[in-house]
Amino acid sequence: MAAKSKKPLKKKEMRIKTTSGAVLVADFDGDPYSTLYTKWRDACKGTKRVDLFMTSEKVPTNLLEAVKASGTIERVYTYGDMVSPRSPNEGGVAVIAELDKIMNMNNDLQKGQLKFLQGLIKELESHTTPNSLTNPRNILFSDPVINAKGNIIRSIKVYGHYRTRRYQRWRSKKVDKKGKNKGSFESVPACPRSWYSEDMDTAKPPMWLALYSPDVVAPLTTKGILPIIEEYYDAVKDLTYVGVRDSPARITSRTIAQDLYEAFPEIRKEVGEWTKEGSPFLKTDLTLYGSEASESLSTVKIYNKGTPSQAEVFNAILKVQQLGIDVDYIYINVTPLQCTRMANMNKDYVSRLKARSAKVRLGSNKRANKEAARAEVARRKGQNTGSK
């Protein structure tokens, strides 16, 4: 029995939709954002309050909820004249909602969402400057120093987490006044030593791990969201994108014709095909079938070969230059009027127009070639079937 042929693996693809209407695609071999983000989200959600060495009902139930609540819960500690401030932004919920939205698009990004990732990277990095008081590792707590009787004789600064060994010893000297252990000395476990520090910028509490850790560190089973987003964004940014013929860039500018004609040789070649003698795109009075010319132009790949004029026009069309991505070629949708204006930049065609006889200029059957023009457009579209 003959072995069944294997289905070809579906190629992974990154897609970006621009404000011009153009869709840009690139082959993408990395893990989808949805995979990376879901792993992080699940790891944070699976890290419960008890794993964070928290017991208060006022504390979020898991680490994901704690990230969402960033900047919305008042948790201010004072040590002398030093105050640990609340997060300056209250966007935890909004950030997670936007990250969820990107995840659900399955490698199909809007231009605005790429910009959002850029902004998120910048925002998260802004809290990592030395001694930043809004960095989770620099949250300030008062760490109790006790005497033999369990009385606090002084406090010292500690950063990252309050469940220190000093805090554990202090609580162990206190009698539990409620609960199942009422009447016994309290038993409060200390958190891992790496979660707190007497020096700034060195503690690694769970919130810092969730946001910034470049490595997988317990209790999490994934890296922090910043390195995940940075790696993903760098991969997306470093791809080479091409346009999709069925989703060309819509060009509505009334002054773009000359820029397009002068910047791109493939457009001058296309216009030459429209305007040559015997062209199906010319009516019997030698004027242009603008709609058919526009359709034909939308099948032509417009390459960005790096000349200053090409780069300027390319970026004006796509409006993605601020994203820093590399685009090889695109397709464009130009109005019939702009096509006529480009045709009138072909000197040979203009000379023939001026030299027309009155009989040709006033020809009674100006639409005689329209079917031929439509057939030529259909032929060109057929040639490009299956191509990006």
In-domain check, residue 85: yes
CB 286 within 8 A of CB 293: no
Q: Average pLDDT in the 27-34 region? A: 81
Each residue of 91-125: pLDDT tens digit? 445 667 777 877 776 555 666 677 778 888 888 88
* Distance in angstroms (rounded) separating the CA atoms of residues 145 and 4: 74
In-domain check, residue 55: yes
Each residue of 280-317: pLDDT tens digit? 999 888 899 999 999 999 999 999 887 888 888 887 77
The angle at the Cα of 370, spanning 365 to 373, to the nearest 5 degrees, equals 145
* Distance in angstroms (rounded) separating the CA atoms of residues 88 and 127: 10
Show which of 103, 129, 155 is a domain's final residue: 129
Question: What tokens does 60 get?
Answer: 């979020």
Q: For the chain, give the number of residues.
A: 388
* Distance in angstroms (rounded) separating the CA atoms of residues 208 and 67: 10
Each residue of 178-203: pLDDT tens digit? 666 665 777 889 999 999 999 999 99
* Distance in angstroms (rounded) separating the CA atoms of residues 162 and 49: 14
Question: Are residue 252 and residue 121 in the same domain, yes or no?
Answer: no
CB 207 within 8 A of CB 225: no
Each residue of 213-233: pLDDT tens digit? 999 999 999 999 999 989 888
Each residue of 155-172: pLDDT tens digit? 899 999 989 999 999 988
In-domain check, residue 217: no
Q: What's the whole-number average pLDDT of the chain?
A: 81
Q: DSSP per residue over 49-102, as a string?
A: GGGGT---TTS-SBHHHHHHTTTTS---EEETTEEEPPPS---HHHHHHHHHHH
Show which of 129, 145, 170 is a domain's final residue: 129
In-domain check, residue 230: no
Q: DSSP per residue over 103-135, as a string?
A: HHTSSEEEHHHHHHHHHHHHHHHHTTSTT-TTS
Range of the domain at 52: 13-129
In-domain check, residue 201: no
SS3 63: helix
**How many structural domains are present in the chain?**
2
In-domain check, residue 177: no
In-domain check, residue 314: yes
**What percentage of the chain reaches a pLDDT higher than 90?**
32
Q: Average pLDDT in the 361-366 region? A: 55
* Distance in angstroms (rounded) separating the CA atoms of residues 300 and 245: 8
Q: Considering the entire predicted model, what is its pTM?
A: 0.69
Q: Is the pLDDT of residue 76 over 50?
A: no
Q: Average pLDDT in the 353-363 region? A: 69
CA-derived radius of gyration, the chain: 33
Question: What tokens does 124 get?
Answer: 């998260």
Decide: residue 131, CB within 10 A, 0-12 exposed, 13-18 middle, 19+ buried: exposed
* Distance in angstroms (rounded) separating the CA atoms of residues 240 and 242: 7
The strand pairing partners of 25, in sequence order, are 15, 242
SS3 10: coil
pLDDT of residue 223: 93
pLDDT of residue 335: 92
Q: Average pLDDT in the 25-51 region? A: 88
pLDDT of residue 89: 43
In-domain check, residue 23: yes
Question: What tokens does 296 get?
Answer: 């034909």
pLDDT of residue 72: 40
Question: What tokens does 131 get?
Answer: 């001694």
Show which of 59, 94, 129 is a domain's final residue: 129
